[in-house]
Amino acid sequence: MKQEELQEENTAAEEAKEAEETVSKEQEAEGGASGETAAEEEEEKEKEEAEAPENMKKKKKKEKWEEKIEGLEDRVKRQMAEFDNFRKRTEKEKSHMYEVGARDVIEKILPVVDNFERGLAAVPEEQKNDPVIDGMDKIYRQLMTVLADLGVEPIEAVGKEFDPNFHNAVMHVEDEELGENIVAEEFQKGYLYKDTVVRHSMVKVAN
């Protein structure tokens, strides 16, 4: 009986020892796993800390490029605006130079027009059908058409109120029928070129 009890006690002791060893192994395994996890976390943290300066450098580099691009875009816009202003100014200057040149040519042609008008006005009525006179009249009309196409037009004077912007009074006359400050007679026709006076009308004004 005692021998059987002794065997049972030995068996129980062995089982308890095996249980302790199993628990100990499980704890060691858990401890090892926990240690590995902590080590991985520490390694990941160190990696992130190592990468942080590199990320900051990339971010700063990107910001510098963006600033440089913005600066270049602003510079291009300003240069385009300056070029557009230069183009407009050049076109205006060219137009002004063209008008000045045209005015000079027109001023030189006007005395020719005056001579045509004086010559045609002096022709007697019975000679107006003469081929030479008819040819002069046609040339005169053609010349006036060309001037009109260029923007040249005569200034209205006779019967109009005197305007120093368009008329040049060289004589005054007393005439109650015309009224005061009315152009009574035109000695030399004035002309406009694109609404600008090329030559003032030379007139006689009633007081």
pTM, two decimal places: 0.55
Q: What is the pLDDT of residues 20-64, one digit of tens each?
A: 666 556 555 555 444 556 666 777 666 665 555 666 767 777 778
Q: What is the tens place of the pLDDT at every residue in 175-199? A: 777 778 889 899 999 999 988 899 9
Q: Where are the domains of the chain?
A: 154-207
Give residue 197's pLDDT. Answer: 92
Residue 140: pLDDT over 90:
yes
* Higher-confidence position of 121 and 29: 121
Q: How many helices (H) and strands (E) does the chain have?
A: 2, 6
Q: Is 147 helix (H, G, I), strand (E, B) or coil?
A: helix
pLDDT at 13 over 80: no
Report how far residue 44's alpha carbon sits from residue 37's, in angstroms, rounded to the nearest whole number: 10
Q: Per the CATH hierarchy, to which homologous superfamily does domain 154-207 belong?
A: Head domain of nucleotide exchange factor GrpE (2.30.22.10)
**Model confidence at 113: pLDDT above 60:** yes
> Mean pLDDT score of the chain, rounded to an integer?
80
Tell me the pLDDT band of 148, cut-offs 50, 70 and 90: very high
Calpha distance 17→201 (Å, rounded): 138
